[in-house]
Amino acid sequence: MCGIQGILDPLGGLDKYLAERHLNFLTNRGPDASGTYSDDHIFLGHRRLSIIDLSTGAQPMYSVDKMQVIVYNGEIYNFKKLRQELQNAGRAFKTESDTEVILEGYLKWGMSLMLSKLEGMFAFALYDKSIEKLFIARDRFGEKPLYYLSTETGFYFASELKAITHVLEKKEIDITALNLYLTLTYIPAPYTIYKGISKLLPGDFIELDKNAEVKIDRYYSLEDQINSGVKYNSYEAAKTDLRSLLFDSVRDRMISDVPLGSFLSGGIDSSIVTAIMAEISPDPVHTFSIGFKEKAYDESSRASLVSNHLKTKHNSFIVDYKDLLDCADDAVDYFDEPFADSSAIPSYLVAKMASEYVKVVLTGDCADELFGGYEKYLAPYYAAKYSMLPGFIKAPVKALVGITPHNSYTNVPLRKIKKLIRNSSESPFDLHYNFMSLGFNETIKSSLLKPDFQSETRQLVKSTFDTLEKSGEMDKGFYTDVKWVLEGDMLTKVDRMCMRHSLEARVPFLDSSIVNASFRMPWQYKIHGSNKKKILKETFADLLPKEVFSFKKKGFGVPLTLWFRNELKSELLQVLNSESIEKQGIFNSNYIQSLINEHMSGKENHASQLWVLYVFQKWYLKNFEA
């Protein structure tokens, strides 16, 4: 796991010393070593976190004749198989690293075919001096980040925004990105908050000639995989395949030359991954979880139950919400752009603590999107039930919900019920879109934003939802979440919070064979009535205590409601004060004040929306007014 940065300067005015200075912005991603390659037109920089082939895996890495050079961030899990295939074809190797497999694979197969063979998480840049071309690629689902900027003076790229924002002559907010952030609480590829800087889409690669002319190609299409796949017609066959594929994926992701463990929350997904690790490993698995002194939020007993069953070497860190608050600023700041998934804060803490023991962790992320783990996937089920209620029952239910106050007991169910009632008559897409939108909906954004900053985002998401013309509505929802939520939110959160502490995170559920198999499963294999992740639970039921499968999903809770009425109240009022908001010229201050007043009085719970605004303003004040 590493950080990469580079410049292609067609004019030959490359400032190598400045480029090397900006490479140091990526030190957290690669604290163990650094290396650079440069000539009159190209600079490639690399910061290394040593995981595999510790002695000979230094970068940049060169081909035998020095005509090709690569800087690479990631792990290729099938590199040993590909290495053998290349050796059988006559290619010689001087290291045991996966980096050299990419380099030799390119020389044997070409860029597109080579990329189609890689199974892993990566972003890399490969410069071929023999044809004067630079190739830049990102993995299939977006586990590893890659930002780029094309200007009149050249082409710039990096693993993190902080390493290239200095190139911008003038920082401007991208209006589409702003609206996506306000709606979704994150900014998905290809957008960034800065006009001019883009994220490379997962499954794409860039080809640049010596004049920095950009050509973007796609080497992997999930849509094509889904459309060409044949649906399972046997539930038992699907279970058999899922078990085999996940065991193989976990085994591949346990390859490491440094200490390795797992994040164990006690939930279904991380417990399954840890259970498989325990089956494979000859030694007890190192596991890590966070417990909270506040019992209403504490789930440490769940993790302990699983740990005791699997006999892992468990580390449970008990913290209080002051600990979360103390690291909130650093956690939010590390994303370099607004990111309002508040679970990033406890993720930051568990990554920090785990990094004191291991360098690699496996996680249970992405199972929810593939196997129907979110409450939003039950929205059609409950919306249908609500719609069937006679009017004389609906009216008092709606009235009762409207007058029920928000407090620590009613907040979570009340918000869900209100959202369901508001959206029960929507189309399948709008029902899904409104439940995946955790910030401000389109109507509210028109009140929140000044006219010059308004942009409709619904159609952007709908174009993805409608891509699978032959699939059912539920599969379209899963597909949309893989394309949007995974890349923009879940994978970004895991990568940044782990990289902040030089910790590598690996995601077994995201092996492409598992992703492809999940979309071959009829959605009824995953959701049965109100039972989510049915096939996942039944496939691995023998590995874990029965109680694990009956736990109610919680996730990492952060008490935003209480913070904004107590510890963060003064800062919230300061960063969202009317005078500053009006001077800024993006938001309508009157609307924001109404949100604050309703929240403080307990009339409504606007904690999530206020967090979105709070995070944006903190980012804005640092990057535009500091």
Burial of 38 (0-12, 13-18, 19+ CB in 10 A): middle
Supply the DSSP symbol for 31. Answer: B
Looking at the domain that runs over 224-372+485-550, which CATH code has it been given? 3.40.50.620
Res 380: pLDDT: 82
Query: Which amino acid appears at position 108 of this protein?
Result: K
Nearest-Å Rg of the Cα atoms of the chain is 24
Helix (H, G, I), strand (E, B) or coil at 375: helix
pLDDT of 455 = 95
DSSP assigned state of 216: E
Q: What is the pTM of this model?
A: 0.93
Which residues is 215 bridged to in the sheet?
207
Separation CA 497–CA 331 (nearest Å): 7
Residue 59: helix, strand or coil by DSSP? coil
| 122 torsion bin: left (phi>0), alpha (psi -120 to 50), beta (else) | beta
Tokens 């607004």 -> residue? 338
d(CA 149, CA 138): 15
Which residues are bridge partners to 76 per DSSP?
120
Q: Strands (DSSP E) along 427-538, which ranges?
A: 504-506
Per CATH, 2-220 and 224-372+485-550 having the same topology is answered no
User: Where do we find the tokens 């923009």?
Assistant: 488
Question: pLDDT tens across 416-448, in order?
Answer: 777 667 766 678 999 999 999 999 998 999 999
Q: Buried b vs exposed e over 82-113: b needs ≥16 C-beta within 10 Å? A: bbebbeeeebeeebbbbbbbbbbbbbebebbe
- For tokens 């595999």, the residue is 52
Positions in the chain short of pLDDT 70: 1, 49-58, 294-298, 386, 388-392, 394-415, 419-420, 423-425, 553-557, 626
Cβ atoms within 10 Å, residue 456? 12
How far is the C-alpha of 278 from the C-alpha of 542, rounded, in Å? 13
Q: In whole angstroms, what is the distance from residue 199 CA to residue 197 CA? A: 7
Our answer to whether residue 2 is catalytic in this structure is: yes
User: Quick one: pLDDT at residue 32?
Assistant: 75
Contact 373, 269 (CB under 8 A): yes
- Tokens 């089956």 correspond to 279
CATH class of 2-220: alpha beta
Residue 57, pLDDT score = 58
- The single-letter DSSP state of residue 52 is S
Q: How many of the other CB atoms lie within 10 Å of CB of 119? A: 18
Domain range annotation of the chain: 2-220, 224-372+485-550, 559-626
Q: In the prediction, which pLDDT does 251 show?
A: 97
